[in-house]
Amino acid sequence: MITRMSTLFLRTLREDPADAEVPSHQLLVRAGYIRRAAPGIYSWLPLGYRVLRNVERIVREEMDRIGAQEVHFPALLPREPYEATGRWTEYGENLFRLKDRKGGDYLLGPTHEEMFTLLVRDICSSYKSLPLALYQIQTKYRDEARPRAGILRGREFVMKDSYSFDIDDAGLEASYQRHREAYIRIFDRLGLRYVIVAAMSGAMGGSASEEFLADSEVGEDTYVRSPGGYAANVEAVTTPVPEVIPFDDALPARVEDTPDTPTIDTLVAVANERFPRADRPWTAADTLKNLVVMLRLPDGTREPLAIGLPGDREVDMKRLEAQVSPAEIEAFTEDDFKRNPALVKGYIGPGVLGTTKASGIRYVLDPRIVSGTRWITGADQHGRHVFDLTAGRDFDGEGVVEAAEIRAGDPAPDGSGPLSLARGIEMGHIFQLGRKYAEALDLKVLDQNGKLVTVTMGSYGVGVSRAVAAVAENSHDDKGLIWPRELSPADVHLVIAGKWPEVVAAAEELAAQLDTAGVRVLLDDRKASPGVKFADAELLGVPTILVVGRGVAEGTVELKDRRTGVGNEMSVAEAIETLVGLTGWAWAARLGSVSPGRETAR
């Protein structure tokens, strides 16, 4: 196929759009691949739509390869199935809800567990139909609180979602592993640098779950790695629990005057000045900080929650969110303080927390606060703190919460050494759902003994439109995009450098030959200067640029690698041979006979 830039529906921009902060967003808009229609909602232009369909093609091929069967659900869905699983409410404000002319409730699907479960219930009645894996590539709708970075986090986006159905746990494990393998192939072919990390199961309920994160500074997910190979999303990291300390010899708790110490820093300074320790100075880690937040439950009710953690750590809101999901976290406001007079701002202590205590507020503790640990903490009176308040003797929590920030250097849960941190973009999520949806929607089949058993499910997602942005994020330079061969909107960008008729004629001839050989050509046949054309070629990011200029009179052209910028003069015949070879390589990768062999962080 030859795509002529003279007639292509494309306008490239020299300036970054004002609302774009991350490189992929800036470049995809500037290169005319996408265009904003509304916040978090984008249109695909011809070249961008090709890249999107290339991602879809890779995903389809790899899903088909593991025997998953493609179906297609509506995006507009009835309320009832989501009511049955509780998600009509649980999804909260993220769900786009609408009414039809008769007043019936509908939603725009944010994910389709319910619909798949019901479809399989309608059609399958025996173990003989299982194992089964179904998938779709579908537009999803989520009214994200913070749509961001163009198509990286949209309110409308394309997802591949698949679901596996098995009769028993061993079957689910096998289905999960098959998907895992498919995902490795997909993300290898997308040319992403990525890691596979342990994930939180979150609102979905279920057990084993892993995420595929593309390495990226602009990613919203933080993940950790240990020297021993443990890797987890920061939300899923568990803190090694310290040994319990005997407290028979612990000093009794005592309240001291600590005027003007509403912050940890001021408290540590005053403690060292007025109540110095003999062995070492007090530090923030000796203090117990009690933070109160407001949880907004999916049904709209609000409920306070107090978190006790060592004073040298902040609460990581994403970790806390993952722990309390589907509830959302809101700030504890001045009005909330007024409604809870037992809480003395800046001096809150365990004395008033816990359901049986004065405030009635639920109190959960960081895992480090084990029995026998001693703390300086608020005395619930203005300007006063209590010293040697001993866990297990003087106070307890009503549970443990993994909400404290994880720091580089923290001990890894596998005991192999210090954790290191990096950021990534969530590209895929594989997840052993178990029987939650099958139970809620009554998906049962007859087993070998004629007994009805509940089916066990897995759910697996790939961010298809997000992948376009993630690849752009992973693969660009200051001049523009650089597509991996399988994703590129063309195999070669042929620049006609000059308007001499013999050059134009030779270039046209060459484009036709390449087309015949199965090479997809983006032909810059515009009446523009070579400088403009080269700049656009770099911006658009086709991995190979073929320059046809005056040299073609002597039979030579220049073949340039977009990534390295290195150009090679060669004969026309050699150029055709090289391009056919490069294009064939991409085909071979599709058929699975060669591995792209790209470096991944796995």
Among 189, 429, 436, 562, binds ligand ATP (CB under 6 A): 429
21 or 273, CB closer to ligand ATP?
21
Q: Does position 111 bind ligand ATP by CB under 6 A?
A: yes
- Cα–Cα dist 134/486, whole Å: 25
Contact pick of 142, 179, 368, 385 for ligand ATP (by CB under 6 A): 142
Pick the piece of the chain touching ligand ATP (CB under 6 A) from 181-189, 303-311, 422-430, 546-554: 422-430
Asked whether 507 and 542 are in contact (CB, 8 A), the reply is no
Size of interface with ligand ATP, in residues (CB under 6 A): 15
Told to check if 198 binds ligand ATP by CB under 6 A, we report no
154 binds ligand ATP (CB under 6 A): yes
Exactly one of 81, 428, 434, 541 binds ligand ATP (CB under 6 A); which one?
Answer: 428
Answer for the pair 142, 94: CB distance below 8 angstroms, yes or no. yes
Q: Which stretch binds ligand ATP (CB under 6 A): 3-11, 49-57, 153-161, 319-327?
A: 153-161
Name the minimum Å distance from CB 330 to ligand ATP: 19
- The region of 82-90, 459-467, 503-511, 522-530 touching ligand ATP under the rule CB under 6 A is 459-467
The values of phi and psi at residue 173, to 5°, are -60, -45
354, 378, 434, 463: residue in contact with ligand ATP (rule CB under 6 A) = 463
What single letter denotes the amino acid at residue 337? F
Q: Binder to ligand ATP among 16, 56, 105, 144 (CB under 6 A)?
A: 144
Q: How far apart, in whole angstroms, are the C-alpha atoms of residue 549 and residue 537?
A: 15
Check residue 472 for interaction with ligand ATP (CB under 6 A): no
Q: Which of 96, 116, 157, 165 binds ligand ATP (CB under 6 A)?
A: 157
Cα 306–Cα 309–Cα 311 angle in degrees, nearest 5: 120
Q: How many Cβ atoms sit within 10 Å of the Cβ of residue 446?
A: 15
Residues 47, 552: Cα–Cα separation, whole Å: 28
The DSSP element (H or E) to which 61 belongs, if any, is: helix 46-65
Site for ligand ATP contains 560 (CB under 6 A)? no
Give me the half-sphere count of Cα atoms (radius 13 Å) on the Cβ side of residue 80. 3
CB closer to ligand ATP out of 465 and 544: 465
Q: Which residue is nearest to ligand ATP (CB)?
A: 463
* Rounded Cα gap, residues 438 and 455, in angstroms: 6
Q: Which stretch binds ligand ATP (CB under 6 A): 154-162, 293-301, 332-340, 368-376?
A: 154-162
DSSP codes joined into one string, 255-312 = EEE-TT--SHHHHHHHHHHHS--SSS---GGGEEEEEEEEEE-TTS-EEEEEEEEETT
Helix (H) / strand (E) element for 51: namely: helix 46-65
Q: Which is nearer to ligand ATP, 352 or 462 (CB)?
A: 462
Q: Compute the least distance from the CB of residue 464 to ligand ATP, in Å.
A: 8
Strand partners, 36: 42
- Residue 461 found at the interface with ligand ATP (CB under 6 A): yes
Q: Which residues bind ligand ATP (CB under 6 A)?
A: 111, 142, 144, 153-154, 157, 159, 426-429, 461, 463, 465-466
